[in-house]
C-alpha cells in the first residue's frame, strides 16, 4: 500500500504511477533479490490491473513469482516468506468463562405466596 501511494498524483498516467511505485524504498529489498524481476512483473501487473477483482488478471506473474520463491527460498527475508518446515502458529484457544448468575437471579424454591394486606 505504501509503495502504491508513493509519488501518487492525479496528473500522472497509470504506467508512470506504477513505475514510480517501484521506486519506493519500502520494496527495494524485494526488487533487488533473486526474484526481483518476477516481483516487479507481478507488482506492476497488480497496480495496472483493471479487472473487477483487482489483480485477478495477474495470475501468471504471481505464479512465476511463487515458483521463483520455491526455487530460491532465501530470495526474501523471513518477514516476507515463511520458511519451509517452519511451524504455523496455532491460534490461542479462547478462554472459557464460567458465568455465575447474581444471587437475586438464581432459582429459588417456590414458596407459598404471602398474603397481601
Q: Coil, helix or strand for 42?
A: helix
CB-count burial class (<10 Å; 0-12, 13-18, 19+) for 2: exposed
Name the pTM for this structure. Answer: 0.55
Which residue in 6, 76, 2, 66 sits closest to 38, CA to CA?
66
Which residue in 6, 12, 45 sits closest to 26, CA to CA?
6
pLDDT per residue as tens, the chain (117 positions): 555 554 555 546 777 887 788 888 888 888 888 898 999 999 999 988 888 888 899 999 999 999 998 998 887 776 665 545 555 556 677 778 777 777 777 766 555 566 666
Contact indicator for 32, 50 with CB cutoff of 8 Å? no
Amino acid at each position: 500500500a505504501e509503495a502504491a501511494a508513493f509519488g501518487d498524483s492525479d496528473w500522472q498516467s497509470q504506467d508512470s504511477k506504477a513505475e514510480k511505485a517501484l521506486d519506493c524504498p519500502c520494496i527495494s529489498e524485494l526488487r533487488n533479490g533473486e526474484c526481483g524481476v518476477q516481483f516487479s512483473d507481478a507488482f506492476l501487473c497488480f497496480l495496472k490491473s483493471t479487472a473487477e477483482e483487482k489483480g485477478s488478471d495477474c495470475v501468471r506473474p504471481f505464479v512465476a513469482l511463487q515458483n521463483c520463491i520455491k526455487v530460491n527460498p532465501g530470495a526474501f527475508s523471513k518477514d516476507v516468506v515463511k520458511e519451509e518446515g517452519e511451524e504455523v502458529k496455532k491460534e490461542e484457544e479462547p478462554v472459557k468463562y464460567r458465568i455465575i448468575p447474581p444471587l437475586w437471579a438464581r432459582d429459588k424454591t417456590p414458596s407459598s405466596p404471602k398474603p397481601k394486606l
